[in-house]
A and B are shown apart, each in its own frame.
Chain A
Amino acid sequence: MVAALAHLRLFDEEVSGLQDDLASILEYVERLDELDLEEVPPMYSPTAARENVWREDVVRDARVTAAFLEGAPDVEGSHVRVPRVVDTRAAEEQEHE
């Protein structure tokens, strides 16, 4: 289920090993419960600064389009081609169920 959330396909031989690993890691991290963290606000970054960093709203031409397209897996003109995102027929069928 977590693999689905992470959009990760797991090979059959990987599954039980990963389950065991994750179980033991999660068991290990439970020791954080030994700490009294009631009054402690969470820290998400070491920098005390909580200000936004601004720059002037000026367009900078990166000129990377050609190089970018060269590195893309499947290109059509100046677009990257991908398979269908939503299967509309399947979506309709599901609705009628």
Chain B
Amino acid sequence: MNDLRWLSAREICRLVRGGEVTRREVLEAALRTIDDSDDDVGCFLYVNSQRALAESDDADAGEGERGALDGVPVAFKDNICTQQMPTTCASAMLASYHPLYSATAVEALEEAGAISVGKTNMDEFAMGSSTESSSVQLTRNPWDPDRVPGGSSGGSTAAVAAGQVPVALGSDTGGSIRQPAAFCGVVGMKPTYGAVSRYGLIAFASSLDQIGPITRDVVDCAAVMDVLVGDDPSDSTSVSHPDAGGFLQAVEQAGDDLRGVRIGLPQEYLDEGIDPGVRRVVLDAAETFSQLGASVQECSLPSTGYALPAYYIISSAEASSNLARFDGVRYGLRETGAEMMDIYRNTRGTGFGSEVKRRIMLGTFVLSAGFYEAYYVKAARARALMVREMLDAFEQFDLLLAPTGPTVAFAVGARSDDPLSMYMADVCTIPANLAGIPAVSIPGGFSEGMPVGVQLMGPRFGDARVLAAAGAFQRATDHHLVRPPLADPAGGSESM
């Protein structure tokens, strides 16, 4: 077996089940790649080698069906609780925290036979768009080490892009799976809100967060969605999805035929704020969709520009509430203090980085007496308005096509001094979180030598049609087959 690390998850599963390769061989290839490349890319905060090897040996020795992800090495963003591994959210607050349980998503993947390889780097508490606010380390974009991988799931997307693991999980609150997936040239999906259990996902903004898959191709993404999606009694915001377990089938059935599919191209996502190179890629993608039989038509969503301010008020408010639990009392960091108040203040003062503090402060302010109506409630009304506009668009269209972000990956340090400019990276991704609709970013082409992500959005519970169209696009293109030079210095694009 030549180069195991570039195999798709489905290919790995097929070979393992057919006895052509052992789970240990697959895992060793992943661990070797991580060992060789992680000093340069910095994706992993924790590598689970011993346990993973033991697990794969047990599985190799045993018999019987192990599920759709049998033998697939998988990594988890470090805000997803894993009982056997630390979970730090890349924060000093949880630097030595070991969860008492694993997230439902982790258990689902493990039950499907996936081998947990480790935890990946992220922006602290998922607040950021570049992974630079991690309190631990810098993750570099495998396509260009002087650029960021995007965020906040940058460790997960860089790990998949660099050939370290074929599957990783991330979380998406305002674009945190899709945007880094676009920057790293991989597939990243945010499912319909409620489709994937949030139990065990350390909460940032509870009405916006979702766990989702990061893979190199849409077929793998659909396979992981089949494992992840399902309602969970431990998460009262999770709901039953009508297509649960049928995503892979939907992608395979659609094939290359998108006749009858109506795709809208909202003009507000292609305005002067978007890089010309990115715009060109999206318009080329629109052309490809037309050639596949879809009807592509321009449309307008006038309140798009209000998504960002509404999001920052709502997400910061929810975050200030969710992060109140980090108080030094029961777990995590505890700083000294004479009285309880001092413990809170000192622990939170030292434990949180500046971006987290900024958002907690903003959130606390917009929820405070006298300002609550003017900020938080107003933002919630704006949300309702925008969401209604988007849902109305889905009366006319089956899918919406847009850039994933306004630019390609920017340089390390370029935006870290200007919070507002950093927040702008999320303009195209935020609306899907506010509306709770499914959205996927797929490699659409290149600009300045860097990957450009193209985004498909669907109505709530339209995950299958989003994936089907994305799958057809991938069959007609080969952008997702190009590998970053950092990961594969010998070759350029190589299809297996």
- What is A's interface to B at a CB cutoff of 8 Å? 2-3, 5-11, 14, 17-18, 21-22, 24-26, 28-35, 37, 40-47, 49, 53, 55, 62, 64, 67-68, 71-74, 80, 82-85, 87
Establish whether residues A18 and B361, one from each chain, have CB atoms under 8 Å apart when the complex forms: yes
> Within the assembled complex, what's the spacing in Å between the Cα atoms of A49 and B236?
11
B107-134: contact bitstring with A at CB < 8 Å (1 yes, 0 no)?
Answer: 0000000000000000000000000000
- Interface assignment of B384: CB less than 8 Å from any CB of chain A: yes
| Distance in Å: Cβ of B102 to nearest Cβ of chain A | 12
Complex: how many Å from CA A78 to CA B411? Answer: 50
Q: B residues within 8 A CB of A9?
A: 345-346, 348-350
| B354: nearest chain-A partner, CB-CB | A14
Question: Would you call A35 and B382 a contact (CB within 8 A)?
Answer: yes
Set B100, B333, B350, B382: member contacting A37, Cβ < 8 A: B382
- In contact, B357 and A10 (Cβ under 8 angstroms): yes
Inside 8 A of A83's CB, which chain B residues have their CB?
337-340, 342-343
Interface stretch of the complex, out of B149-157, B372-380, B468-476: B372-380
Q: Pick the contact of B435: A7, A37, A40, A46 (CB < 8 A).
A: A46
Kindly list the 8 A-B residue pairs having the minimum CB-CB distance in the complex, ordered from nearest: A46-B436, A9-B349, A42-B380, A43-B384, A73-B334, A9-B345, A29-B309, A53-B236
B428 at the interface (CB under 8 A from A): no
Please tell me if B54 contacts chain A, counting CB pairs below 8 Å.
Answer: no
What is the chain B residue whose CB lies nearest that of A34? B306
- CB-based contact B383/A21 at 8 Å: no
* CB atoms of A29 and B312 under 8 A apart: yes
CB distance from A84 to the nearest CB of B (A): 6
Q: Does A5 lie within 8 Å of B207, measured CB to CB?
A: no
Chain A residues lying within 8 Å of B460, measured Cβ to Cβ, are 46
A2: chain B residues at CB < 8 Å are: 361, 364-365, 368
B234 vs chain A, min Cβ distance (A): 9
Nearest A residue (CB) for B335? A9
Q: Chain B residues near A34 (CB, 8 Å)?
A: 306
Contact with A along B475-487 (1 / 0, CB 8 A): 0000000000000
User: Which residues on the A side are within 8 Å of B437 (C-beta)?
Assistant: 46
Q: Tell whether, in the assembled complex, residue A37 and residue B378 are in contact, meaning their CB atoms are under 8 Å apart.
A: yes
Most B Cβ at <10 Å: residue of A8, A22, A26, A41: A8
Give the residues from 135 to 161 in chain B that come closer than 8 angstroms, CB to CB, to chain A: none
Q: How far is the CA of A71 from the CA of B207 in the complex (A)?
A: 29
B329 at the interface (CB under 8 A from A): yes
Distance between Cα atoms of A11 and B351 in the complex (Å): 12
Knowing A6-B361, A7-B345, A73-B328 are in contact, say whether A49-B354 is a contact too (CB < 8 A).
no
Instruction: Report whether B348 and A8 are in contact in the complex, using a CB–CB cutoff of 8 Å.
Output: yes
- Please report which residues of chain B, range 343-363, place their CB below 8 angstroms from some CB of chain A when the two chains form the complex: 343-346, 348-350, 352, 354, 357-358, 360-362
Known: A32-B309, A46-B193. 7 other contacts (CB 8 A): A6-B320, A8-B352, A21-B358, A33-B378, A40-B385, A47-B193, A47-B239
A22 and B344 form a contact (CB under 8 A): no
The reply to whether A8 and B357 contact each other, CB–CB distance below 8 Å, is yes
| Docked pose: A87 CA to B339 CA in angstroms | 8
Also in contact, A32 and B306, with CB within 8 A (given A7-B345, A21-B419): yes
Q: Which of A8, A47, A68, A84 is B194 in contact with, Cβ under 8 Å?
A: A47
- Chain A positions within 8 Å of B338 at CB level: 83
Cβ contact within 8 Å between A42 and B239? no
CA distance A41 to B345 in the complex (A): 36
Residue of B nearest to A9 (CB): B349
Q: Contact mask B310-339 → A, CB, 8 Å, 1/0?
A: 101100000010001001111111100111
Contact A35 B303 (CB under 8 A): yes
Q: Name B368's closest neighbour in chain A (CB-CB).
A: A5
Q: Which residues of B contact A72 (CB under 8 A)?
A: 330-331
Contact in complex: B101, A64 (CB < 8 Å): yes
Mind listing 9 A-B residue pairs with CB under 8 Å?
A9-B346, A29-B375, A31-B306, A35-B382, A43-B380, A49-B239, A73-B328, A84-B340, A85-B339
Q: Which residues of A contact B434 (CB under 8 A)?
A: 46
B237 to A47, Cβ gap below 8 A?
A: yes
B98 in the interface (beta carbon within 8 A) = yes
| B438 CB, nearest partner CB in chain A, Å | 11
Q: A47-B194, A84-B340 are in contact. Are A7 and B327 (CB under 8 A)?
A: yes
Q: Decide yes or no whether B97 CB sits under 8 A from chain A.
A: yes
A41 and B358: CB pair below 8 A? Answer: no
The chain B residue sitting closest to A41, CB to CB, is B384
Bound-state Cα–Cα, A54 to B434, Å = 26
Closest-CB distance, B208 to chain A (whole angstroms): 8
Q: How distant is B307 from chain A, measured CB to nearest CB, in Å?
A: 10
The docked-state distance in angstroms from the alpha carbon of A21 to that of B379 is 19
Task: Note all chain A residues with C-beta closer than 8 A to B491.
Answer: none
Q: Judge whether B361 and A41 touch: CB under 8 Å.
A: no
Measured CA separation A67–B122 after assembly (Å): 26
Q: Min CB distance, A56 to chain B, in Å?
A: 10
